Amino acid sequence: MAAEPMIFIFTGTSGSGRKTIAKQIGSELGLYHVLSCTTRVPRATEGQDRDYHYISHDEFVELERSGQLLQSTTIGKERYGIRHQELDRALANGKHAYLILNSEGASLFKNLFKDRVIRIFIYVDKQTVRERLERKGTPYDVVDRYLDQYTEEVVYRKQCEHTIENVELIRTLEQIRTAINSHL
């Protein structure tokens, strides 16, 4: 059993299935979901304080100005970040935690928390990303952005503790359970 709560980071190529996998595994293993704040609007299936804390640009700037953000990133015109208090609350309750981050956020957490951070890189090929996202009704500009950044994102797998291709969801979940349990 790990002495301190572990931090599992689901990262990888956009649209590869990270959110689906993270939510399923998180609820199954009782992991605490550390939510980011974002200035982007919720998508059709998303909810306030379930997927993100959705806030205005002004509120984001204020969090940044007052030093409340542990880290932040900008993607297109939107801002994303995690409040210190959000992570502190998660770790204080003793549960293992998980986050869903891009490579920039994943590296920052690894540098801060070292061996307590385990990065799980999820990917699928570009064509599958397109098909899945179009089926889900993701706006075309978002799909195009994801595909444009694919090559840049996929190289990060080499730095992660685990790399898993998400073809068959059931098989992927099995591999991730095994990976996580090997650290607990």
Ligand X SMILES: Nc1ncnc2c1ncn2[C@@H]1O[C@H](COP(=O)(O)OP(=O)(O)OP(=O)(O)O)[C@@H](O)[C@H]1O
Q: Residue 36 gets which letter from DSSP?
A: P
Helices 169-181, 18-29: crossing angle, 10 deg rounding: 50
Strands 69-75 and 53-54: unpaired
CA-based R_g, the chain, Å: 16
Pick between residue 133 and residue 180 the one whose CB is nearest to ligand LQESDW3C. Answer: 133
**Which backbone phi and psi does 37 adopt, to 5 degrees?**
-95, 145
Q: For residues 13 and 122, give the distance between their C-alpha atoms in angstroms, rounded to a whole number.
A: 7
Q: From the list ligand X, ligand LQESDW3C, none, which binds 40 (C-beta under 5 to 8 Å, kind-based)?
A: ligand LQESDW3C
Site string for ligand X, 113-152 (x = CB under 6 A): -------------------x---x----------------
CA distance to 6, 68, 94, 95, 96, per residue, from 3 (Å): 9, 27, 10, 11, 11
Task: Work out how close the CB of 170 gets to ligand LQESDW3C at its nearest, in angstroms, rounded to a whole number.
Answer: 23
Q: From the list ligand LQESDW3C, ligand X, none, which binds 166 (C-beta under 5 to 8 Å, kind-based)?
A: ligand X
Q: For residues 108 and 113, give the distance between their C-alpha atoms in angstroms, rounded to a whole number.
A: 9
Q: Which residues is 162 bridged to in the sheet?
A: 120
Q: From the list ligand X, ligand LQESDW3C, none, which binds 136 (C-beta under 5 to 8 Å, kind-based)?
A: ligand X
Q: Which residues bind ligand LQESDW3C (CB under 6 A)?
A: 14, 36, 40, 71, 73, 75, 80-82, 100-102, 104-105
Contact 18, 25 (CB under 8 A): no
Q: For residues 106 and 173, give the distance between their C-alpha atoms in angstroms, rounded to a whole number.
A: 20
Pick between residue 26 and residue 105 the one whose CB is nearest to ligand LQESDW3C. Answer: 105
Task: Work out how close the CB of 65 gets to ligand LQESDW3C at its nearest, in angstroms, rounded to a whole number.
Answer: 17
Pick between residue 73 and residue 175 the one whose CB is nearest to ligand LQESDW3C. Answer: 73
Q: Does 169 bind ligand X (CB under 6 A)?
A: yes
The residue whose Cβ lies closest to ligand LQESDW3C is 105
- Interacting residues toward ligand X by CB under 6 A: 14-20, 132, 136, 166, 168-169, 172
